[in-house]
Amino acid sequence: MAVSMFLDFIKDKALFLKREVVVAYFIYRHPKTPLFSKALLFIALGYALSPIDFIPDAVPILGYLDDIIVLSGLVYLAIILVPREVIEEARKQEEENVLNIKVKQAVLFAVMFVFVWTIVLCAFGFFLVRFIAERI
């Protein structure tokens, strides 16, 4: 029971983080975002993607802990300096973006489903015709 609750908690936090990354992207792209906030977001992204860390990831626990502290600190400082209306617009864009992605994924899944079954049925028909032709 406790493990299930913990996994649900982690799943919820991961989903929240995923959405916040998209919001941070829209904040970065917004023309009213202050230059200093853009610089902090850019540095956070660079640090996240950089192979160089303050404390190497090979050091147990501390290696990842410094990433969490530095990245969350930089993003937090960047977001504090952004006007409230920019954040609200970014969240609205993120919600619209998620809906568009879900619709596109559903359409892509449907097309792939039909495509795969068409190939399977054509292959089955081909082998069935060959089988019947050999028996005649």
pLDDT in tens, 102-118: 666 666 777 787 788 88
Q: Which structure tokens are listed for 123?
A: 């292959």
**Residue bearing the bigger pLDDT, 95 or 99:** 95
Where would I find the H helices in the chain? Answer: 2-29, 35-49, 62-80, 84-135
Distance, CA of 35 to CA of 117 (rounded, Å): 52
**pLDDT at res. 14:** 63
pLDDT score at 5? 81
At residue 85, does pLDDT exceed 90? yes
Under 8 Å CB-to-CB from 79, ≥6 apart: which residues? 24, 27, 37, 87
Structural Rg of the chain based on CA atoms: 24
Q: What is the mean pLDDT of residues 63-84?
A: 83
State the pTM of this model: 0.57
Q: Average model confidence (pLDDT) for the chain?
A: 81
pLDDT of residue 101: 61
The pLDDT score that the predictor gives to residue 32 is: 94
Please choose, from the candidates 68, 12, 76, 2, the residue with its C-alpha nearest in 3D space to the C-alpha of residue 40: 76
pLDDT above 90: residue 124: no
